[in-house]
Structure 1
Amino acid sequence: MRFTALTDSRVRWLAFAVAFIGYASVGYWLQVRHGFIIGDALARVAAAQSVLFSRSPHVAAIGFIFTPLTAAVQIPLVALAPLWPDAVARAFTGSLMSAVFMAGAVYQILGIGMDRGVPRGFTLTIAALFALNPMIIFYGSNGMSEAPFIFFIVWSARRLIMWMVDDDVHHLVVAGGVAMGLAYLTRYDAAAVIAAAGFLVAITTFARAAKSPRFKRALMDMVLVSGPGFLSFIGWAVASWLITGLAFAQFSSQYGNSAILAQEGGAPKSSMWDGIVYSVASFSLLAVTLAPLIGWAVVARWRRPGWPMLVAPLAIFGAVLAFQVYTFSKGATFPFLRYYIIAIPFAAAVTFFCVPNGPLRKPTRRGNYAVPEADPPQRPRRWAYLVPVLILAVCAPVAGFGMSSQKYAPQEYGLGALLASPDATGQRNLDQRRLAAAFSTEREIAAYLDRMQLPDGSILADPVYAFSIIVASRHPRMFVVPSDPDFVAILNDPTANKIRYMLAVPNKGRGTSDALNLRYPTLYETGGNVATLELEAPNDGKDQPVWRLYRVHEALPAS
């Protein structure tokens, strides 16, 4: 069968399969072969592991700092850890999670073009430029939350684009009831999308309805698209409050973003304007031609049939970028390039609007306020398709350049160490190599502890740093951690509770939130009068602590 004879659905699924294999292969090369692992990705694997293999396995052990979806979907893969321990120790289960969702994002990008009936060659080219963007490849393979977040946001945008023209209620059900609700369980940023979608749908319905009850219809559609996301927001907050006593642990916990910023000396001192400039520079590195593409799309679609379709991606993707710009300019988040990654699918989606519509996908149920389906028949010249492709294509090399910047891409620029000559020298190269060596020391400590063949509940540790040791251990049940119900009692009297060792990190920076340091402030320096230093392990990873293993004092014999 010729490729041109394949149905749109088969083309999308073929693209999904190819993308998944590609991203998973990159993940294996990055994380299993070279050990290049971002801490948050490994922490999510550790959260999934704690649900199944901790000393006190329970679902709430997944934690409430991160939203749960990225860790929860890894639980079936983590269950296979005894068959392939490195899949967990090197976060490859996270790579598989990212690969599935980023391949799904490629599927949805293709869907945006196919729904609008633009030529298949143009649609495939735009999807390929999205899929092969270096930033997309990296975050489609490293186990972070960016891949599922992009998938759910693009899925939401795709459905709302079509709802704007065919008024099919099924689009609102999928966009709001599924995609946005799950997006919030992936990243807190989705709250901005839920609000923007509700506002957009309410205004659109109110403007369309020529007769009363206009307000009730607008309210009903708004609840339909934003209600499930709002329930996700409330449900997650209530669950967190009932279990931890904190409704929004990410913002108020000693392990949350605000606490981390404070522990590391606070956000960089700058004005709100400086924060805005930094944010705009960040997403411009990822989609440098986004503004020209938006301008072209607006001019190309203005007052043509179905022109309101363009409003949906502007509102959905724009809400995410606006949220990130605002939170960073207020000093509430970190200067990470990945926070602006949504600019890449934004640019890809907008490019589809730079060319005329074709025959739109047939809706399941055309609504009362559907608008004309397609542009009048016309034969655009070839340049009308070529120029938008070339403009979008500029984004990929610029994004690759941005990823090499230590200022704008502190988590990505270490990739240069994997590509540099082995004999390369210089401070920059040393920093990159230390980034690439992250958690190698922790894996060695885990192997050392495993060889000791300790019984369950022998080592006291706080996953604030120790998650990287626990997840690399073949015997995670030997660790006593804060999610265990008896953790506080054991922490208060480790000797009586038969604790043999305590893992200690410096009582500074993020180490000030470590439960062991909170209970024994001098533990790292002196043993806190409860333990004696047995081992010190300098760390090969950048910004990682020098570990100390303390042997707990044995109980004195009764007199």
Structure 2
Amino acid sequence: MTDRRVKQLAFVASFLVYAAAGYWLQVKHGFIIGDALSRVQAAQSVIDSRQPHLAAIGFIFTPLTAMVDIPGILLRGVWPDMVTYGFVASLASALFMAGGVVQALSIGTDRGLPRPYILAITAIFALNPMIVFYGSNGMSEAPFIFFLMWTVRRLIMWMVDDDVHHLISAGFIALSLAYLVRYDSVGAIASVGFVVALTTYLRAPRPPRIRRALLDMMLVSGPGFLAFVGWAIASWLITGNAFAQFSSQYGNAAIFLQSGGTGPASFGTGVQYAIVCMTLLAPTLIPILLWAGVIRWRRPNWGVLVVPLVVFGGVLAFQTYSYATGQTFGFLRYYIVAIPFAACMAMLAVPDGALAEPKRRGRNALAPATGSTIRPARYGYLPVALAFALCMPVAGWGMSLQRYAPQEYSLGAVLAPDPHNTSDKATSQRRIAATFSTERELARYLDNLDLPEGSVITDTVYGFAVVVASRDPKTFIVPSDNDFVKVLNDPAAFGVKYLLSVPNTGRGVSDAVNLRYPTLYETGGDVATLELEIPNDGDGQPDWRLYRVNEPASEA
């Protein structure tokens, strides 16, 4: 069977596994992570809201993860649950993570490694519990891993054959799109640009070496820098905030403070926490890395080891610094790239075979390394594979630790349900697993009222889960609508029937309805009368109050 056929089968098999896992978790059990569902609602607003427009995608997160959900939104009429339960996002994750699996496999085939070894490393990577979970839940981790793996693969090839096309693929496509998935990419963009420039400078002829180094750096990092600047300008022109993620009331920094986050006790404590997270996900990364260094030391293509270090290492360093300085949450998933990092190193920690023939060998290409020039014993493949395989059970165990995996540990309520267990941990797991069930019931209640368009005002801080579960999202007036502020200031005059209210505490302080009517949740704010109170079954979700807007006073 040809390598191409193997890659096609790997993609299809991986996609089916991840899509099935997503369906089982999200549609069958309602286990949905909020960020994934909020992105589905943002994508829905682009094409299926009262005032559809592209800017409704929002500027808190970079846009690509939500934009790829848009085609699936069009199928809402065929299968409403695809949107209600965020399964459209699961399918997008499955596609990207399956692409990441193919990239991992391709790193091995590019090196000419034995097929059984390539398949073993690829399967261990693909079936890692964290990879399966984030390949199926609609979050940004899957596309992020795919683009980083693509970057690593292309740069490894460039290190050997100096083909400029690899820099173009890595820079113009992979790294720039990675930034449009996650802000963490800035670490990789900066570190990759530096290493590429240094590599070109060291091996180029003396007279043009500086010029060539600068050109190569621009090729690989320039597009990512332009994506950074372009997204900031677009955000500033439309919202007035160039970096809404950091300065907006809806951004991560604000969410962190509103949720009572205090960050680590010290910078050192934060670094230690990050190291523990990375160790839980890839406990054998350092030994594999050291072994790779031993077998490639002083060999012509030792530089290929630098590529995973700067790409994944740049991202991990950025995340570690962000958490240690109290700018983000302590989530295990923020360090998930340690797993593909270990997979790439496992492909480099064994002897090369016949390298893939370059389409265009550059003038500074290295002589290809082969198994005859790198000579650990052939049984060296098995220890590396076993070392990498150890990541699977350790990562699965790490996902059960509430301190390090607050978003993953609740999977226990789905994987091993025990309704008779009344411990605090079991109760917390069940509440997390039930998150957004109340919002779906609230959406059904409002749908059954057969309200006209623009009848309900809600902010999407919490309301996104209600809007996305509704049969008709046009029923809701949301902040992305151009007339939201005008209608909110005088709801009765614009025919609004209801206000959806959440407590004016925690994240609720950023809710636009609370900002306009600070006492609405408690008293109705002199504009509405309480009609319904809805206690919430989900963890960290507010108890809702539905207020009927008072009729305007008649003129004498």
Give TM-score, length-normalised by structure 1: 0.98
Per-residue CA deviations over 1:40-66 (Å, capped at 9, x if unaligned) read: 000010011001111100010010011
Report the Cα offset of residue 353 of structure 1: 1.6
1:271-290 matches, cutoff 5 A: 271-290=266-285
Q: Which moved more, 1:33-42 or 1:269-278?
A: 269-278
- Counterpart in the other structure of 1:331: 326
Residues 293/269 of structure 1: CA separation in 2 closer, same or farther (3 Å cut): closer
- Counterpart in the other structure of 2:497: 500
For the residues of structure 1 that align with 2:207 and 2:262, how far apart are their CA atoms?
A: 51
- Counterpart in the other structure of 1:353: 348
Report the Cα offset of residue 557 of structure 1: 1.9
Report the Cα offset of residue 558 of structure 1: 2.0
Report the Cα offset of residue 10 of structure 1: 1.3
Name the SS for the 2:364 alignment partner: coil
Is residue 2:141 matched to residue 1:137?
Answer: no
| Contact 2:399 2:405 survives alignment (8 Å) | yes
| Contact 2:259 2:507 survives alignment (8 Å) | yes
- Counterpart in the other structure of 1:534: 531
Report the Cα offset of residue 376 of structure 1: 5.0
- Counterpart in the other structure of 2:410: 414
Is residue 2:174 matched to residue 1:160?
Answer: no
Report the Cα offset of residue 381 of structure 1: 3.8
| Contact 2:355 2:370 survives alignment (8 Å) | no
- Counterpart in the other structure of 2:259: 264
For the residues of structure 2 that align with 1:397 and 1:282, how far apart are their CA atoms?
A: 14
Of 172, 184, 192 in structure 2, the residue corresponding to residue 189 of structure 1 is 184
Is residue 2:30 matched to residue 1:35?
Answer: yes
Of 150, 156, 164 in structure 2, the residue corresponding to residue 169 of structure 1 is 164
| Contact 1:267 1:334 survives alignment (8 Å) | no
- Counterpart in the other structure of 1:396: 392
One-letter code of the match for 2:398?
Answer: G
Report the Cα offset of residue 394 of structure 1: 0.6
1:452-491 matches, cutoff 5 A: 452-491=449-488
For the residues of structure 1 that align with 2:422 and 2:461, how far apart are their CA atoms?
A: 33
For the residues of structure 1 that align with 2:547 and 2:422, how far apart are their CA atoms?
A: 36
| Contact 2:264 2:323 survives alignment (8 Å) | no
For the residues of structure 1 that align with 2:434 and 2:240, how far apart are their CA atoms?
A: 37
- Counterpart in the other structure of 1:96: 91
| Contact 2:264 2:270 survives alignment (8 Å) | no
Give TM-score, length-normalised by structure 2: 0.98
1:445-456 matches, cutoff 5 A: 445-456=442-453
Per-residue CA deviations over 1:327-365 (Å, capped at 9, x if unaligned) read: 110101100000000000000100112111111111111
Per-residue CA deviations over 1:483-522 (Å, capped at 9, x if unaligned) read: 1111111111111111110000000000000001001100
Name the SS for the 2:492 alignment partner: coil
Per-residue CA deviations over 1:140-191 (Å, capped at 9, x if unaligned) read: 0000000000000010000001100100001000000100010000000111
One-letter code of the match for 2:220?
Answer: V
Per-residue CA deviations over 1:75-132 (Å, capped at 9, x if unaligned) read: 0111111111110010000100000000000000001111011111101100000000
Report the Cα offset of residue 198 of structure 1: 0.5
One-letter code of the match for 1:39?
Answer: G
Of 167, 173, 180 in structure 2, the residue corresponding to residue 178 of structure 1 is 173
Report the Cα offset of residue 305 of structure 1: 3.0
For the residues of structure 1 that align with 2:353 and 2:340, how far apart are their CA atoms?
A: 21
For the residues of structure 2 that align with 1:397 and 1:382, how far apart are their CA atoms?
A: 26
| Contact 1:304 1:375 survives alignment (8 Å) | no
For the residues of structure 2 that align with 1:352 and 1:457, how far apart are their CA atoms?
A: 56
One-letter code of the match for 1:392?
Answer: F
For the residues of structure 2 that align with 1:83 and 1:557, how far apart are their CA atoms?
A: 45
- Counterpart in the other structure of 1:219: 214
- Counterpart in the other structure of 1:3: none
| Contact 1:114 1:123 survives alignment (8 Å) | yes
For the residues of structure 1 that align with 2:38 and 2:134, how far apart are their CA atoms?
A: 16
Per-residue CA deviations over 1:387-444 (Å, capped at 9, x if unaligned) read: 0011111110000000001100000011000123333331111100000001000000
One-letter code of the match for 1:444?
Answer: E
| Contact 1:267 1:332 survives alignment (8 Å) | no
